[in-house]
Amino acid sequence: MLTLDDVALRRDASFELVVRHFAVAPGEAVAIVGQSGSGKSTCLDIMAGILKPDRAQRFTFHHAEDAPISLADLWQRHDRGGLRNWRARHLGYVLQTGGLVPFLSLADNVGLPLRLLGRREPGRVQELLQALGLDGLGRRKPRHVSIGQRQRAALARALAARPALLLADEPTASLDRDSAETVMGLLTSAARRENAALVMVTHDRDLAVRHGLRIATCASGGALGLSVLDDRETN
Ligand SMILES: Nc1ncnc2c1ncn2[C@@H]1O[C@H](COP(=O)(O)OP(=O)(O)OP(=O)(O)O)[C@@H](O)[C@H]1O
């Protein structure tokens, strides 16, 4: 579904991320692991069409019967509208910081992707709040719930429009062990149910392995801090 070949982005004089090859198929789940500062979040932001790569031999998204979309071409043409449409239609992104809109209730945050797409799905928001253990908190603003509850609301929002590609940056980082297991279970089962591709960044390799995710390593090394993600190194 998502394929990257020789995609690179230099962040500063001492750091360049180079994705030699990465591919994820519908229904497949991959965890990107690696040391702090090795480029995991940068990699996810490139996959999300948020950060523009300096070069991309191949950077494509291919969903079901639709024609393949070259994200590399959209960037090349500076087609911001095209990238925005692609993100709205196909992408669910759980940010490390949650990224909820502070002045909207949890329920309105979760329903936001559906509203932006002009879709009405009565019951969908409630179903997600319930699935993520947020029943009864829908009317609260993000600042009036715990960090872990915010994280789960962010996950519910990413799932709302049933995206084909689900990206998550440390979705369990602010959760206790039991909640982390629960959220991982929900994330992977939701992705499987929707036949979505899931790519998540995590420090917790064991948690990812326990939940059946393929492991891709973001390795750092070399004098320039060159970072290479290569999913052929997976186990
Ligand atoms: N906005 C930015 N501008 C310039 N450099 C950045 C920016 N964000 C991150 N970097 C640099 O890019 C490199 C990779 O950072 P990134 O956040 O992708 O790593 P990470 O593996 O996700 O780290 P962590 O596990 O600590 O979250 C680091 O050297 C970092 O200092």
Q: Where are the domains of the chain?
A: 2-233
For a ligand 1 pocket test, name from 41, 46, 50 the mutation site with the most ligand atoms within 8 angstroms of its C-beta. Answer: 41
Instruction: Evaluate if residue 108 carries a pLDDT over 50.
Output: yes
Residues 167/93, Cβ–Cβ less than 8 Å: yes
Check pLDDT > 80 for residue 159.
yes
**Residues 105-128: what's their mean pLDDT?**
93
User: What average pLDDT does the segment 1-12 reach?
Assistant: 91
Give residue 196's pLDDT.
Answer: 92
Strand 91-94 to strand 165-169: parallel, antiparallel, or no bridges (unpaired)? Answer: parallel
Structure tokens at 132: 């993520």
Its CATH architecture, for the domain 2-233, is: 3-Layer(aba) Sandwich (3.40)
CA dist 96 and 159 (Å) reads: 16
Residue nearest to atom 24 of ligand 1 (CA): 36
Question: Number of helices and strands (H, E) in the chain?
Answer: 8, 10
Q: How does residue 230 score in pLDDT terms, banded at 50, 70 and 90? A: low
**Where does the pLDDT of residue 229 fall: very low under 50, low under 70, confident under 90, or very high at 90 and above?**
low
- The percentage of residues in the chain with a pLDDT greater than 70, rounded to a whole number, is 93
Tokens 């909820």 correspond to 100
15 lines ligand 1 (CB under 6 A): yes
Complex prediction ipTM: 0.96
The answer to whether 1 and 64 have CB atoms below 8 angstroms apart is no
Assign residue 99 a region: left if phi > 0, alpha if psi is -120 to 50, beta otherwise? left
Confidence band, pLDDT 50/70/90 cuts, at residue 133: confident
Hey, whose CA ends up nearest to atom 29 of ligand 1?
A: 37
Which atom of ligand 1 lies at the shortest distance from residue 34's CA?
A: 21
Q: Is any atom of ligand 1 closer than 6 Å to the C-beta of 97?
A: no
Q: Is the pLDDT of residue 209 over 50?
A: yes
Q: Whole-model pTM above 0.80?
A: yes
**What atom of ligand 1 comes closest to residue 201's alpha carbon?**
22
Regarding predicted confidence, which is higher, 143 or 13? Answer: 143
- CA of 36 relative to ligand 1 center, distance in Å: 8
